[in-house]
């Protein structure tokens, strides 16, 4: 089916590039959902209801992918024929591995000390690192340095996971 074969940039009528105008992304996503959402097809035929659900599902997927830096970079690499292989390729430069270990230790320490503010601080630090990587990605995509971009995505992926873990620990501490 032609419609569902469009890539996410095409579906949301945005140029297929790393830099995305987030305001425009929001606007286009809303315009698209305003037309295709299942709420617009409640009294339509079964065919149209099904199609509406599929396209609206894809619009959500596209929006989430393009909104998130890591996911957008990963997707753009895929469109260029490059898989980031985060599951299998875990080789990382030594300094990044060190940093990760430090973060893990800091999480454990803060967890034992029940120190939520230390965790919040750690999140700020990690977010700064993510921003640096994201700026690097801009350059890497502009220069079509896809292997380097791949490595940045893998690093960002680690950072996303660590952030999620920190949030989980904070939640546990707050619930205790």
Partner 1 sequence: MALLQIAEPGMSAAPHQHKLAIGIDLGTTNSLVATVQSGMSLCLQDEHGHALLPSVVRYLENGQIAVGHAAQSAQSEDPKNTISSVKRFMGRRINDIPDTTHIPYTFRDTGVGMVQIETRGGIKSPVEISAEILRTLKTRAEKALGGELTGAVITVPAYFDDAQRQATKDAARLVGLTVLRLLNEPTAAAVAYGLDNASEGIYVIYDLGGGTFDVSILRLSKGIFEVLATNGDSALGGDDFDHRIFCWILSEAGLPPLNQEDTRTLLTKSREVKEWLSENTEAQITSVLSTGQLVNIKLTADKLVELTQTLVTKTLNPTRKALRDAGLSIEEIKGVVMVGGATRMPQIRQAVAEFFKQEPLTNLDPDKVVALGAAIQANVLAGNRSDDDLLLLDVIPLSLGLETMGGLVERVIPRNATLPVARAQDFTTFKDGQTAMSIHVLQGERELVSDCRSLAKFELRGIPPMVAGAARIRVTFQVDADGLLSVTAREQSSGVVADIVVKPSYGLSEDQIINMLKSSFGAAEQDKQARALREAIVDAERLIEAINAALAEDGHLLSADEKASIEAQVNALEATRHGNEKDSIIQAVEALNHATENFAARRMDASVKQAFAGQDLNKLEL
Q: Which of 27, 33, 67 is nearest to 53 (CA)?
A: 33
- Cβ nearer to partner 1, comparing 99 with 119: 119
Q: Shortest Cβ distance from residue 94 to partner 1 (Å)?
A: 32
Q: Which residue has the tokens 């619930």?
A: 175
Q: Shortest Cβ distance from residue 153 to partner 1 (Å)?
A: 20
Q: Which residues bind partner 1 (CB under 8 A)?
A: 1-3, 10-11, 13-16, 28, 30-40, 42-48, 51-53, 55-57, 60-61, 63-64, 167, 170-171, 174-175
Task: State both tokens at 142.
Answer: 């502009």
- Cβ nearer to partner 1, comparing 139 with 164: 164
Q: Shortest Cβ distance from residue 172 to partner 1 (Å)?
A: 11
State CA 82 to chain mean position distance. 17
- Cβ nearer to partner 1, comparing 34 with 97: 34
Q: Shortest Cβ distance from residue 110 to partner 1 (Å)?
A: 17
């Amino acid at each position: 089916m032609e419609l569902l074969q469009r890539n996410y940039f095409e579906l949301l009528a945005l140029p297929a590039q790393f830099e995305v105008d987030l305001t425009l992304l929001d606007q286009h996503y809303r315009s698209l959902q305003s037309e295709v959402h299942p709420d617009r097809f409640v009294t339509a035929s079964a065919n149209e209801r099904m199609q509406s659900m599929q396209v609206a599902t894809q619009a959500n997927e596209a929006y989430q992918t393009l909104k998130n830096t890591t996911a957008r970079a990963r997707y753009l690499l895929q469109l260029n024929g490059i898989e980031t292989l985060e599951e299998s390729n875990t080789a990382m430069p030594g300094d990044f591995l060190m940093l990760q270990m430090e973060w893990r230790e800091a999480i454990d320490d803060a967890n034992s000390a029940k120190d939520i503010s230390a965790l919040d601080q750690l999140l700020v630090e990690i977010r700064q690192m993510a921003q640096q990587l994201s700026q690097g990605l801009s350059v890497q995509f502009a220069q079509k340095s896809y292997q380097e971009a791949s490595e940045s995505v893998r690093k960002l992926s680690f950072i996303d996971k660590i952030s999620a873990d920190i949030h989980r620990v904070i939640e546990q501490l707050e619930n205790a």
